[in-house]
Structure 1
């Protein structure tokens, strides 16, 4: 889906501290706005990066959750913020891949943001309860035997989480009942309580669930198996050509001064080379990218080209 790999990080991170002293930025706290509720995968990545960026920038980098309206509330807030580098957005695929395609009256555009760095890409996991199907084939058999009765939870009907699951169902010729939640944490509570058959989430939620025995990862929406769970198949093994990845990326409001963008990019890039952060993200099935602003802008354009025909074919409703 995108040609950037871990090599985008380079052999070593840029040394940001001398540049900070010369630019005079930042002079106060920096806020990363997360357009999801606390506890989800976007929140996890943001807080991990904020902690390391605080050390690099020499000023606190804090995370502020502004969930709602399929990430529109948080994204619009940043798009309208003062373009000075102190208010940032940690976007996911939903915010700048799906919403610009399906929302008629979206109060922001991709052009309202200045890319800083594409942080990570990742597939979604489909998790079953411990008493549920033990394999993808068993899930297929159950779903075909009882069309429309198996339930799965996700964080919004037009989020990339649900779109990825719709792609899985389309490719496998299955029909299930979706249940929408405001965030991963709320969906997880119902799943653990036994009110959902399946849960569709990122690896930051899925891997701990399997490790704790609360559920079983049946498959990933990736083209290949994830090294973190080598025994878990990719759905592409049952539906060739299937791949649905999301991403996390850091952006500022458009017209943010270049010196602030450069400083923030260097800090984000350095954060992504942190050994503890890399270990955590690897464990959660995320691929670290650490792109340049220009590479991130190219990626956003490619995402539009990729998903627009896919969403049209799947008849995802326009909002």
Structure 2
């Protein structure tokens, strides 16, 4: 059953910092090969570093993306999971690696928007990466184990009745899932016993096993858990109810402003040749656009493919996301660490 959706991403106003946008657009506009130049061709397998544990939301996209890009590039694209430190371990490995187009990062909201805002000890800078393509956007969901109230008003009442006793899983302090949970807690006056996981797939496993009471999950992990009948969706963090899922509420119905969504993208080391960036962008875009069934299958799992436009569009999107998340961090009182 096909479900088409134009995902409304709750991003902020256009970035007023002309220098930041100008630099981003300048970098991206240089992303195509010179006229008459031969297209860049990889000489060996390309490694796609996924900074999360295998089996989570990021893997849901990484595997079919690698397969499709391999067909278009003519060399294998190998997925390498390097989780830890809120994606910083995998990101650093790519930032410090060769800038020749053979090593890419499946970047996420935490990598280049949240981490630079929260961590002064970050082992990389946003400027260490060149944007290749925006791949997907995704809302998050809160799910509960079997036996806990799943209707949104009843869930809120239950958590308020047991402050600090309902366990809530997420991907650790500063992760996009943690920020979504913190926004919900602050907006609704809730207190949880927070538990950190290396991937939302692992959190979903504990949820289904009854070890964890509730969890903030990416769309694919949330829907997969709900389909087992051992976990139940409470609400989404999208701005409005998802088309095709009208029975599932959003937290913004309980209190205004409770909207948090994430993104997944493709980045390369900053010094990667523009011709390589252009070829990799085309391979990613071709993969996302070629198979309508892939788009529908991922949408059914709560992950909405982007148009994968030029690097310039991704650079502008990142600038807007940093502004939006800076406002969110201020609202929930999170400040940069030492």
TM-score, normalized by the shorter chain, greater than 0.5: yes
1:282 aligns with 2:307: no
Deviation at 1:107, TM superposition (A): 1.3
Deviation at 1:170, TM superposition (A): 1.0
| Cα distance between partner residues in 2 of 1:206 and 1:189 | 10
Moved more, 144-153 or 251-260: 144-153
1:165 aligns with 2:181: yes
Moved more, 179-188 or 219-228: 179-188
Deviation at 1:241, TM superposition (A): 2.3
Q: TM-score, normalised by structure 1?
A: 0.91
Secondary structure at the aligned position of 1:104 is classed as: coil
Moved more, 50-59 or 185-194: 185-194
Q: Give the counterpart of 2:266 among 250, 256, 273.
A: 250
Query: Cα RMSD (Å) of the superposition?
Result: 1.7
Paired residues, number: 303
Deviation at 1:31, TM superposition (A): 0.7
- Stretches of structure 1 that go unaligned for 5 or more consecutive residues are 4-18
8 Å contact from structure 1 (residues 119, 291) kept in 2: no
- Stretches of structure 2 that go unaligned for 5 or more consecutive residues are 1-9, 13-34
| Cα distance between partner residues in 2 of 1:291 and 1:108 | 26
8 Å contact from structure 1 (residues 221, 234) kept in 2: yes
Deviation at 1:132, TM superposition (A): 1.1
Q: TM-score, normalised by structure 2?
A: 0.86
Secondary structure at the aligned position of 2:86 is classed as: helix
Aligned to 2:317: 299
Cα deviation, 1:111-167, whole Å, max 9, x if unaligned, reads 110100010111111001121112110011111212111111111121010100110
Secondary structure at the aligned position of 1:152 is classed as: strand
Cα deviation, 1:276-315, whole Å, max 9, x if unaligned, reads 3212211122222113200111111111111113213312
1:123 aligns with 2:139: yes
Runs of at least 4 residues of structure 1 off by over 3 A? none
8 Å contact from structure 1 (residues 271, 277) kept in 2: no
1:84 aligns with 2:72: no
| Cα distance between partner residues in 1 of 2:268 and 2:175 | 22
| Cα distance between partner residues in 1 of 2:314 and 2:145 | 37
Cα deviation, 1:54-83, whole Å, max 9, x if unaligned, reads 111111111001111111110011011111
| Cα distance between partner residues in 2 of 1:257 and 1:138 | 54
Aligned to 2:215: 199
| Cα distance between partner residues in 2 of 1:295 and 1:311 | 24
| Cα distance between partner residues in 1 of 2:50 and 2:73 | 20
Aligned to 1:16: none
Q: How does 1:1-319 map to 2 (within 5 A)?
A: 1-2=10-11, 22-273=38-289, 274-289=291-306, 290-319=308-337
